[in-house]
Amino acid sequence: MGNIFDDFVQLVQGSELSNYFDTLMAYPLRIVLAIIDLIIVGFILFKVYSILKNTRAIQLIKGIIVLLIANQLSAWLSLNILHLLLNTVLQYGILLVIVVFQPELRKALEQVGNTSIKKWFEFDEDNSDLTCVTEVVKAAKAMSATKTGMLVVFERQTSLGEIAHTGVELNSVVSAELLINIFVKDTPLHDGAVIIKNNKIQAASCILPLTDKESLDRVFGTRHRAAIGVSEVTDSVVVVVSEETGFISLACEGKISRNLSPEQLEKELFTRLEKTRQRPKMPFAKISKEK
């Protein structure tokens, strides 16, 4: 551990770094410019992350950061074999990254080029009030009555960007009428799932992974298996309406609850999505009476 401390001291006391700080202290204006420099770099990194966060590339970046940290630690701890191996991986890994993630990198560059200057200085709106839950419940109630199949996925912490890319991007406000129109049989977008992110419909007609559970009851069709499947690999919450029975179900953490009433669905959604404080006052007691 002494070597690590000594290396750190040498780094801080190094001539280049020391001269840089001496220059800053001698010219106060340069301190201001250095702060502005850091702010600009931080802003650019934030915008790049915003562009890549819904792609596989962000996972790659995290892996590269881990490798860089491990490489530096192996050098400080004099783990020569590990350091040599990591150095080799980092040297030739860049070419591998370009080849494997070429589609993601190209798409990111295209998105940067197509983004207006005004858009670069906009930040994501806070759409965390989840007013869309009420609309989803209304749609589920209506489609349950007509036995129309429905599959809606709420994104939480785990990004569903890759799944959203398999469908048609909408980026529209959530409404019960729009959801009903999407899932009407034989319409272009009815086959697949709707992804809801930040209180908006991000995409429709998305393909979800199916669960591999062999013990699953045979009453569950492809739509329910897809709901369970995506809830197994992500932390998403999924609403399903059966086309055969009209039952409303909720899938989360690889488990599914069947035959929920609209008021039960609403309560479960707000509880699962951890936004009960902002729950709008929409009395669903009348719905159960109608049944």
The pLDDT tens digits for 273-291 are 864 344 444 444 333 333 3
Model's pTM, two decimal places?
0.56
Beta bridge mates, 154 = 196, 237
Task: Look at residues 92, 120, 148 and tell me which one is the last residue of a structural domain.
Answer: 120
Confidence of residue 16 (pLDDT cuts 50, 70, 90): low
Question: Which has more confidence, 28 or 270?
Answer: 270
What span, in angstroms and rounded, lies between the C-alpha atoms of 109 and 75? Answer: 34
* Residue 127 within a domain: no
pLDDT at residue 11 is higher than 70: no
Provide the H-helix boundaries in the chain.
Answer: 2-12, 15-26, 28-52, 57-76, 80-100, 102-114, 117-120, 132-146, 161-164, 176-183, 222-233, 262-272, 285-290
pLDDT, tens digit (0-9, with 9 covering 90-100), for 153-162: 999 888 888 8
pLDDT at residue 5 is higher than 90: no
What single DSSP character describes residue 131? T
Same domain, 50 and 97: yes
pLDDT, tens digit (0-9, with 9 covering 90-100), for 177-217: 999 999 988 888 888 899 998 888 999 999 998 888 777 77
Same domain, 236 and 107: no
Same domain, 58 and 182: no
* Residue 101 within a domain: yes
Same domain, 144 and 57: no
Task: Look at residues 120, 154, 185 and tell me which one is the last residue of a structural domain.
Answer: 120
Same domain, 91 and 164: no
SS3 252: strand
* Residue 65 within a domain: yes
Mean pLDDT of 152-173: 88
Same domain, 264 and 158: yes
Mean pLDDT of 100-127: 58
What share of the chain in percent tops pLDDT 70?
68
pLDDT, tens digit (0-9, with 9 covering 90-100), for 230-287: 998 888 999 999 988 899 999 998 888 888 999 999 988 988 886 434 444 444 433 3
Same domain, 75 and 137: no
Domain count, the chain: 2
pLDDT at residue 56 is higher than 70: no
Same domain, 70 and 142: no
* Residue 82 within a domain: yes
Query: Residue 153 sits in a domain of what CATH number?
Result: 3.40.1700.10
* Residue 126 within a domain: no
* Residue 217 within a domain: yes
Same domain, 247 and 187: yes
Same domain, 144 and 74: no
Worst-scoring range by mean pLDDT, 63-72, 112-121, 254-263?
112-121
Domain range for 140 is 132-290
- Residue 152: per-residue pLDDT: 95
* Residue 12 within a domain: yes
Q: What is the DSSP string of 73-105?
A: HHHHTT-HHHHHHHHHHHHHHHHHHHHHTHHHH
Worst-scoring range by mean pLDDT, 8-12, 149-153, 194-198, 228-232?
8-12
Distance (Å) of CA 176 to CA 136, 194, 263: 6, 13, 16
- Residue 2: per-residue pLDDT: 47
pLDDT at residue 111 is higher than 90: no
